[in-house]
Chain A
Amino acid sequence: MTVRDALNTALDEEMSADPKVFLMGEEVGEYQGAYKITKGLLDKYGPERVLDTPITEAGFTGIGVGAAYHGLKPVIEFMTFNFSMQAIDHIINSAAKSNYMSAGQMSVPIVFRGPNGAASGVGAQHSHCYAVWYASCPGLKVLAPYSSEDARGLLKAAIRDPDPVVFLENELLYGETFPVSAEVLDSSFCLPIGKAKIEKEGKDVTITAFSKMVGYALKAAEILAKDGISAEVINLRSIRPLDRNTINASVRKTNRLVTVEEGFPQHGVGAEICASVVEESFGYLDAPVERIAGADVPMPYAANLERLAVPQVEDIVRAAKRACYRSVSVAAAA
């Protein structure tokens, strides 16, 4: 099943199960979805439940949050999360904080979903990763699926959750196919929020990743295996709440950690994971934590520059070898 179909079927099943669920966003209806994620849903559920909006994120996001205040369950699509910045006040101040500020009176069961992070050749304003922007805010849940199983299970969990959820998809993963079990295809399938998945077990080094980078980390693990390094790959699935227990348990087993993300390095997901491991498992670390992230520049357009600006499999392999003291660190060589 492709990730696209996984998301489509998850939306379909949740809309069928609960009449309060509705979709809102640019091109979600008549155009069948900018990336065809919402294909067929307008025909099936009608224009009262699948709403095409003008290009006014602040307006329609606020309307979505207001509807959630009253008890409906909106799924708001951002064509990419770059445009969510137009609406970020409503995501943070109107949605995330309301439950706390009202001492529990105002639950906001809303989902904000859409593609996040680097795509291909779309330039600086269309390639930003927002994982840490949202993950730093108490009151929000932030999910980042990788496989079709992740996409189905996490989106269903997000829609059923009574709190606001930011659901970060990846445009380049939409067309990828993953094997899915019968359990995943069942309409009641749901994944827990806040639990990471160990995609591949290992004993020499832990590699954490989310979204597209999970695929890269798995490829890196194959290459490392040929050099006798057994890497454990953790698919975070949930950026907030972060599954600190799984990460720390893994580091306590392997004693070495590489964090991988596509977004900018400063104050990134890797920074938070590193801090968490230093706080909870310092004595178990045999090497400094290695952070692999996107280059600290706005995303360039030229293909060769773009390739240099995002992590590649070789970068992950090199970092894992550095963590295992199999190569000299860049700083020591200079």
Chain B
Amino acid sequence: MALSHLKSSSSGSNFLKPLATAFSLRRPISTSTDPITVETSVPFTTHRCDPPSRTVETSPQELLSFFRDMATMRRMEIAADSLYKAKLIRGFCHLYDGQEAVAVGMEAAITKKDSIITAYRDHCTFLGRGGTLLEIFSELMGRQGGCSSGKGGSMHFYKKKSGFYGGHGIVGAQVPLGCGLAFAHKYNKDDAVAFALYGDGAANQGQLFEALNISALWDLPVILVYGMGTAEWRAAKSPSYYKRGDYVPGLKVDGMDAFAVKQACKFAKEHALKSGPI
């Protein structure tokens, strides 16, 4: 086939080469880095802070990378779902399909020196931090080539050298750990921040408020990122999660809009470095 003779100029795993080369056969896609401005789909809602601008700068290259990464994540999670139902993945398998814009938007706003920590819904976040599909599927199926040599499983992916700290099975534990990563960033004075991602279960956990209190007291550069999952009426008396920090500022962002996420993370990073948790 003609495809096999073409070398892909994109960076990415072997799985992506056919996709990219198929595109370049059919029509030219711009890899230009000329800036384009986009407006976020909805305005930001804020708690104790001023919102960032709705106007986001991007480029054709970034747009293409967003598409490629989000499409890869979606296909990956759907494949994982099939493997799980076929019992080729054992134990737990928590899928991230639908939330791709969050992982991708966040990566666009930060560097690998910044830290990210999440709970067990970690496949796509790991991919965003530089993981490969081979490492992911090998780990899910318990093979030695997996990112944790098959010893961790779906919930325990780590990539310390690119700032990804897991991968945690206990609901809520990742939030104080994320504040600890922020503590280390501040201790080392390295101008980086820590993002601690959590969901509905963790949002009500006591340890989150304990760690948030200490982070606010010590001005730690931590950003707590909440993402919706469980029906609000079942678990939370106050569903305005961005206000739950009380004395800590908050921002409500449309998680389906990768540009809004990118803008919010950029804003949050600047805030955290200057004024502490958000």
Q: Which residues of A are at the interface with B, using a C-beta cutoff of 8 A? A: 22, 48, 51, 53-54, 56, 58-72, 89-90, 93-94, 98, 100-103, 105-106
Contacts and interface: CB of A to CB of B under 8 A. Distances in A.
Interface of B: 115, 117, 147-152, 156, 158-160, 165-170, 173, 175-185, 187-188, 194, 206-207, 209-211, 213-215, 217-218
B69 to A, nearest CB: 23
A71 B184 contact: yes
Contacts of B182: 66
A93 B151 contact: no
24 contacts: A22-B187, A59-B209, A60-B210, A62-B175, A62-B177, A62-B180, A63-B215, A66-B165, A66-B178, A66-B194, A68-B180, A70-B181, A70-B188, A89-B173, A90-B177, A93-B169, A94-B170, A94-B177, A101-B148, A101-B167, A102-B148, A102-B166, A102-B167, A105-B158
A52 B149 CA distance: 39
Contacts of A64: 180
B180 A70 contact: yes
B213 A106 contact: no
Given A94-B173, A105-B148, 16 more contacts: A22-B187, A54-B214, A58-B176, A59-B176, A59-B210, A60-B211, A62-B180, A63-B214, A65-B176, A66-B182, A72-B188, A102-B151, A103-B148, A105-B159, A106-B158, A106-B160
A327 to B, nearest CB: 50
Task: Tell me if A's interface is mostly helix, strand, loop or mixed.
Answer: helix
Contacts of B167: 101-102
A71 B184 CA distance: 8
Contact of A93 (B173, B180, B210): B173
B151 A100 contact: yes
A65 B160 CA distance: 14
Contact of B213 (A22, A54, A61): A54
B247 to A, nearest CB: 14
Given A53-B214, A72-B187, A102-B166, A63 B179 contact: yes
Given A89-B173, A94-B173, A67 B214 contact: no
A102 B263 CA distance: 32
Given A54-B217, A93-B170, A59 B181 contact: no
B117 A66 contact: yes
A301 B185 CA distance: 46
B181 A56 contact: no
A66 B183 contact: yes
A234 B2 CA distance: 76
Given A56-B213, A59-B214, A66 B179 contact: yes
A66 B217 CA distance: 17
B149 A72 contact: no
Contacts of B209: 59
A69 B151 contact: no
Given A54-B217, A90-B173, A103-B151, A69 B207 contact: no
A184 B75 CA distance: 61
